[in-house]
Amino acid sequence: MSATAEATILITHAVGLHARPSVKFTKLAKTFAADVEIALAANGPWFDAKSIVKVMAAKAPKGTVLHIRASGDGAKDAVEALVDLVRRDFDEGADHARTA
Amino acid sequence: MPAPLRLQGICASAGYAEGPLFDLDRPSAVYASQASAAEEKVALAAAIGKAVSRLTAMVDAADGDAADILEFHIAMLEDAALSAPAFASIGSGLPADLAWRQALDAEIAGYEASDQDYFRARAADLRDIRDQVLRALTDDGGSAVAAGAILYGDDIAPTRFLETDWSAGGGIALKAGSAASHVAMLARARGVPMVVGLGEPAKTAEGFVLLDAEHGTIALAPSPTEIEAFRLSSSSFAARQGKAQAFLAKPAATRAGTAVRVQVNIAYPSDVDGIDVSTCDGVGLMRTEFLFGKTLPDEETQYHAYRKVLEWAGEKPVTIRTVDAGGDKPVPGFTVAETNPFLGLRGIRLSLARLDIFRIQIRALLRAAIHGNLKVMFPMIATPDEYERAAALFAEEQAALAARGVAHKMPPLGIMVEVPSVAIAPEAFDGVAFFSIGSNDLTQYVMAAARDNAAVAHLNSVRHPAVLRLIGSVAAFGQENGVPVSLCGDAGGDPASIPALIEAGLRDLSVAPAQLAMAKAAIAEVPV
């Protein structure tokens, strides 16, 4: 039986899961073998977290509680790593807001 | 001689440019279709690959925001989910160009339908991605644009901006477009003049044009007199700007060394992204009407918008004005139709008439207040009773939040001085934390000249002695009674009006971000 993992995390980035964070998010998701999906609500719809087209299409604004789930090899690590990326505000923080 | 034609739009990046118009929306080269579906698929895959390698080459030369935008485009193009519908359509008989266009147009429509400005603005990125592949399919690697041309069309793609050589001048004039787009951000960063929202011209726009992106206009088929006047304005702008940049990083002071606080006016939370917080003394006016666009915003949307600006400003003050709808700013489902809207139910009058909507904004402000140095002001106050009712609502909502254990803070509450009754008798407003003079409305009410009516525009001068006398007496009242007084109208950023405002006793101005440097430079010239 393959591993599964699931978590939720609040998006605090100024404009939500937008272009630049989505690039980082999907790049990180693709480093895991597990299938990873995101949703804006517990009951879906679920989007492939490795596809930037799908992640952008989710249009998650700031303040969204993002649901992340994974199944397969390294599912737990994948969810943890992605939650951590969102929690770190995609490593942008206030610095970026000032230079953008 | 044909009548001169001038289109009015919105300034997205200040500056002047003259040159030939280049039509961005001209039809592109024709795609030669392949013999079989299999070959069509190969052609499309090759074109996507070609577009990706062109972008990759551009990333190396780009920096910061430009590189981020290009990397986003590359990531989208490399995602099979983007091209899958196009390959499926080729399988059912469509040629590669049509299949790609239909697939991307469907994706674009999804972005355009978003209720969030940010995601709607990404439709331009998707169109860019679409056209890059279409150009690669037809092997049209971007058509020659004359040096110094004014790029003109519905909208412009970020990569088109980055491909263009701006060293010889040139500018951007868009019929639609947005001052919040990626391109507008890039144009401001690189100092490329840009005007958006010009609308559809009555006749075909072509030939030599004058782009005045300081005032947001474009003149088609200009006369020699117009060209001469334009060049004067242009060189004066360049001289002012060159001199002004030296002042941007320093706190503003007059020639005599009197310190003047210079804050910024913003309309959208994202406006602060382009401002270095160290160059201003805070936000003197954050409008909130933008939130009230198609739909009335909920508490969370407002809370996040306010919090973003407060966090950006750090310890510096952010003065947020409660919604000033009505007048020339109607909001569907909120404002009412009136024969004389400037004298009607607008500003605080409307908020006090629609408490359900006002209370939501009050709660969002109280909650956001813990994230910075918030001040709140009410627009269109005419009587002390209006201020007291608004302040009482803040106290009620504060008590309710406290009872629910929600984190919040009561900000200082001030009022706009724009109705003459306040300017004439400021002493009636006991307990107000601060005054902020809205010079645009104060002037139109004192002069009885609507600000949206060009026929009476000559009457609308803040430098009329009657207006200046009122400003001076409010400033003096504030100084005598220890009530801070600032000014946040257009006059604050107008170099021609700044000396009169300082002489009237004001020491706190709030200006459009693009005017920050010029305003500081103008202040330095004032002898007081």
Asked if the Cβ–Cβ distance from A97 to B107 is below 8 Å, we say no
Alpha helices, DSSP H, located in B122-266: 123-138, 158-163, 182-190, 224-248
One CATH from 1.10.274.10, 3.90.228.20, 3.40.50.300, 1.10.1060.10 for B37-138? 1.10.274.10
CATH superfamily of A4-99: HPr-like (3.30.1340.10)
Query: What tokens were used for B50?
Result: 């070609």
The whole-number pLDDT of residue B508 equals 98
Whether residue B113 is predicted with pLDDT greater than 70 in this model: the reply is: yes
Q: Are A8 and A68 in contact (CB under 8 A)?
A: yes
When mean pLDDT is compared across A42-51, B59-68, B468-477, the lowest value belongs to B59-68
Q: Which residue has the higher pLDDT, B257 or A56?
A: B257
pLDDT tens, residue by residue, B201-228: 766 777 889 999 988 899 988 888 989 9
pTM of the prediction? 0.58
- What percentage of residues in chain B have a pLDDT greater than 90? 52
**Residue of B303, B304, B318 for testing the chain A interface, max A β-carbons within 10 Å:** B304
Burial class for A41, CB neighbours closer than 10 Å (0-12, 13-18, 19+): exposed
Q: Are A26 and A19 in contact (CB under 8 A)?
A: no
Whether residue A98 is predicted with pLDDT greater than 70 in this model: the reply is: no
B11 is catalytic: no
The whole-number pLDDT of residue B94 equals 87
- B397 vs B494: CA distance, rounded Å: 39
Whether residue B142 is predicted with pLDDT greater than 60 in this model: the reply is: no
pLDDT tens, residue by residue, B379-414: 999 999 999 999 999 999 999 999 999 999 999 999
Q: What is the mean pLDDT of residues B9-21?
A: 88
Mean pLDDT, chain B, whole residue set: 88
Query: What is the band of B1 on the pLDDT scale with cuts at 50, 70, 90?
Result: very low
Query: What is the band of A94 on the pLDDT scale with cuts at 50, 70, 90?
Result: very low
**B268-306 as b/e: b if 16+ CB within 10 A:** bbbbbbbbebebbbbbbbbbbbbbbeeebbeeebbbbbb
- B227 vs B447: CA distance, rounded Å: 33
Query: What is the band of B144 on the pLDDT scale with cuts at 50, 70, 90?
Result: low
Size of interface A-B (CB pairs under 8 A): 73
The whole-number pLDDT of residue B366 equals 98
Q: Which residue has the higher pLDDT, B370 or B274?
A: B370
Q: Which residue has the higher pLDDT, A14 or B230?
A: B230
- B402 vs A19: CA distance, rounded Å: 38
Q: Does domain B5-25+143-237 have CATH number 3.50.30.10?
A: yes
The whole-number pLDDT of residue A99 equals 29
The reply to whether A15 touches chain B by the CB within 8 Å rule is yes
- Measured in angstroms, the CA of A3 and the nearest CA of chain B are apart by 26
One CATH from 3.20.20.210, 3.90.1150.10, 3.30.1360.40, 3.20.20.60 for B249-525? 3.20.20.60
Radius of gyration of chain A (CA): 13
The whole-number pLDDT of residue B446 equals 97
Residue closest to B218 by CA, chosen among B228, B177, B24, B208: B208
Q: Which residue has the higher pLDDT, B378 or B241?
A: B378
Residue with token string 């331009």 = B124
Q: Are A58 and A68 in contact (CB under 8 A)?
A: no
Q: How, if at all, do strands B5-8 and B217-220 pair?
A: antiparallel
Whether residue B148 is predicted with pLDDT greater than 90 in this model: the reply is: no
Asked if the Cβ–Cβ distance from A19 to B68 is below 8 Å, we say yes
Chain B residues near any Cβ of chain A (below 8 Å): 64-65, 68-69, 71-72, 75-76, 79-82, 107, 110, 114, 116, 118-119, 122, 125, 185, 269-270, 272-274, 276-277, 300-301, 303-304, 308, 311-312
Q: Rounded to an integer, what is the distance from CA A76 to the centroid of its chain?
A: 14
Q: What is the mean pLDDT of residues B355-371?
A: 97
A18 is catalytic: yes
Amino acid making up residue B69: I
Distances (CA, A) of B168 to B172, B178, B192: 14, 24, 11
Mean pLDDT, chain A, whole residue set: 81
Angle between helix B37-61 and B123-138 (nearest 10): 120
Instruction: Give the angle B402-B403-B404 at the CA atoms, nearest 5°.
Output: 90
Q: What is the mean pLDDT of residues B59-64?
A: 73
Whether residue A93 is predicted with pLDDT greater than 60 in this model: the reply is: no
SS (H, E, C) B6-71: EEECEEEECCEEEEEEEECCCCCCCCCCCCCHHHHHHHHHHHHHHHHHHHHHHHHHCCHHHHHHHH
Whether residue B496 is predicted with pLDDT greater than 90 in this model: the reply is: no
Residues from chain A contacting residue B116 (CB–CB below 8 Å):
16, 59, 61
Each domain of chain B, given as residue ranges in start order, spans 5-25+143-237, 37-138, 249-525
- B346 vs B340: CA distance, rounded Å: 11
- B136 vs B96: CA distance, rounded Å: 11
- What percentage of residues in chain B have a pLDDT greater than 70? 94
Asked if the Cβ–Cβ distance from B68 to A59 is below 8 Å, we say no
